[in-house]
Amino acid sequence: MKLENDETKNRVVDASFVAGAVEAGGLPPPALLEVAFAGRSNVGKSSLLNSLMDRRSLARTSRTPGCTRQLNIFEVRCADGLMMRFVDLPGYGWARRSKDERNQWQSMIEGYLRTRASLRAIVLLVDVRRGVEEEEQQLLEFLRLPRQVSEPKPLEIVLAATKVDKLSASARKPALDVVRKGVGLPVIGFSSVTREGRDALWGRLRHAVL
Ligand code: GTP
Ligand code: MG
């Protein structure tokens, strides 16, 4: 059967929580290709994941920063049969964390990003109203280092600017331009409220796991 359009194809027919772990070594062995979602605490990683997965609250979200504290893996199957895993990463930049907690965060995330052979893409989320700051630049720098795995192609970096619904139509384009220039990569404007950007993002993820 030929699926008519992206919206039909990208509909998620199955989504489930697979496992969570506080370090990369505690995760189940890779069974499918993975995409990880990284960004500042409260930027909307878990909300974006729920939109992508067509589920209201499979990934836990909260108004309070620091909601996601471990690596959480989800598995999805789309209407056209495509399957992959999504990894919800704990957010960085949460000032109230202790230095120990920040170090733990760093080794958890960096360990995962450096050693997970099944990882194909990382989606970096930036709040459209905040743009790119020091922490994003540090993460991008880290991502430019060689990984400790042999891989068929380099890790794809996908940039998404979240919460675009909070800006007026006229303020959006200039704000997205600032984010794009700050990173030097194309940017997808995204809203988990209106689902704007969902098909564009799915398109990039499909390409990454090809
Ligand atoms: P941590 O788990 O703490 O790292 O946060 P997170 O990045 O997973 O953020 P989360 O998805 O929990 O969202 C944080 C808050 O922002 C919640 O109150 C969400 O409802 C809100 N939010 C997330 N995405 C959007 C969006 O696109 N638009 C609007 N208006 N609010 C959003
Ligand atoms: Mg979260």
CATH number of the structural domain 2-209: 3.40.50.300
Is residue 49 within 8 A of residue 60, CB to CB? The reply is no
**Minimum CA distance residue for ligand 1 atom 28:** 163
Q: In this predicted model, what pLDDT tens digit does every residue of 145-201 receive, in sequence order?
A: 988 888 878 899 999 999 999 999 999 999 999 999 999 999 999 999 999 999 999
Q: Is the CB of 51 under 6 A from ligand 1?
A: no
Ligand 1 atom closest to the Cα of residue 66 is: 3
Which of 123, 192, 194, 196 has most ligand 1 atoms within 8 Å of CB, for mutation? 192
**Over residues 10-30, mean pLDDT:** 92
Q: Is the CB of 38 under 6 A from ligand 1?
A: no
pLDDT at residue 1 tops 60 = no
Q: What pLDDT was estimated at residue 151? A: 80
Is residue 94 within 8 A of residue 62, CB to CB? The reply is no
Q: Is the CB of 131 under 6 A from ligand 1?
A: no
Q: What pLDDT was estimated at residue 95? A: 62
Is residue 91 within 8 A of residue 42, CB to CB? The reply is yes
**Over residues 16-40, mean pLDDT:** 93
Is residue 198 within 8 A of residue 51, CB to CB? The reply is yes
**Minimum CA distance residue for ligand 1 atom 18:** 63
Band of pLDDT at residue 35, cut at 50, 70 and 90: very high
Q: Phi/psi zone of residue 195: left (φ > 0), alpha (ψ -120 to 50 degrees), beta?
A: left
| Cα distance between the two ends of the chain | 20
Rounded to the nearest 10 degrees, how much is the dihedral formed by the CA atoms of 156, 165, 196, 18? 60
Is residue 55 within 8 A of residue 13, CB to CB? The reply is no
Q: What pLDDT was estimated at residue 39? A: 94
Is residue 160 within 8 A of residue 203, CB to CB? The reply is no
